[in-house]
């Protein structure tokens, strides 16, 4: 089991991340610590040296299965380096519920697998 820091919309966070607190303050999150026990929410650390609960910035830690972590890495890569279609699929994936995410995975398995291999450091076909 591994942890992944996500936005309110369920998208994985890539650091550094510019954020706005619930009070409207701007900050840049540069590091994060996942929960250490079931009652913890973990922490996020700002460029200015502050330590905060993730919810201050609309973030949360989510447990993911190892295979989900690989899939999430592939979808993040689609968003960052993919063409407009791959990036749009990545956006739809993060916005979707589990049924719609399954539809995206079933509809474009070759595309998803290509980015999964790239995320694992494999060569692109």
Q: What is the pLDDT of residues 67-80, one digit of tens each?
A: 677 888 899 899 99
Q: What percentage of the chain carries pLDDT values higher than 90? A: 56
Confidence of residue 122 (pLDDT cuts 50, 70, 90): low
For the entire predicted model, the pTM comes to: 0.58
- What is the model's pLDDT at position 94? 87
- Range 77-85, long-range pairs (CB < 8 A, 24+ positions): 77/115, 77/118, 77/119, 78/111, 78/112, 78/115, 82/115
In whole angstroms, give the CA distance from residue 4 to residue 81.
Answer: 21
DSSP result, 20-84: E-TTS-EEEEEEEE--SSTT---EEEETTS-EE-GGGGTEEEEEE-HHHHHHHHHHHHHHHHS-H
């Amino acid at each position: 089991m591994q942890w992944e820091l996500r936005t309110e919309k369920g998208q994985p966070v890539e650091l550094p991340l510019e954020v706005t607190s619930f009070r409207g303050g701007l900050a840049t999150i540069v590091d994060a610590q996942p929960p250490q026990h079931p009652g913890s929410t973990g922490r996020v650390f700002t460029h200015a040296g502050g330590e905060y609960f993730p919810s201050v910035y609309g973030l949360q830690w989510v447990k993911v299965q190892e295979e989900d972590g690989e899939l999430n890495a592939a979808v993040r890569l689609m968003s960052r380096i993919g063409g407009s279609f791959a990036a749009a699929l990545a956006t739809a994936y993060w916005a979707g519920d589990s049924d719609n995410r399954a539809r995206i995975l079933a509809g474009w398995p070759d595309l998803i697998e290509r980015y999964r291999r790239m995320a694992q450091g494999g060569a692109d076909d």
